[in-house]
Amino acid sequence: MDIAALSAAMSEYSVKQSAGIAITKMAMNASEQNAVNVTDMINSMAVDPNLGSKLDVKA
């Protein structure tokens, strides 16, 4: 294989690798933002403190 073809192949590989890393970072950032949104939503939910405090049982 000549030097020019080898250089082109290595450059193509580098571009593909950089694109893959960029896409992975975007996915990780989106997942992190989703986790923050879910956590905020759970923390902002109104919870009735009287729920579950009494149990009615009949035999």
Spans of all domains in the chain: 1-42
Backbone angles phi, psi at 50, to 5 degrees: -85, -15
The model's pTM: 0.61
Question: Could you give the C-alpha distances from 46 to 8, 23, 38, 49, in angstroms and in order?
Answer: 60, 37, 15, 9
Question: Could you give the C-alpha distances from 59 to 46, 55, 56, in angstroms and in order?
Answer: 34, 13, 10
Task: Quote the pLDDT of residue 29.
Answer: 97
Give the pLDDT means over successive 10-residue stretches in the chain (59 positions): 88 94 97 96 82 79
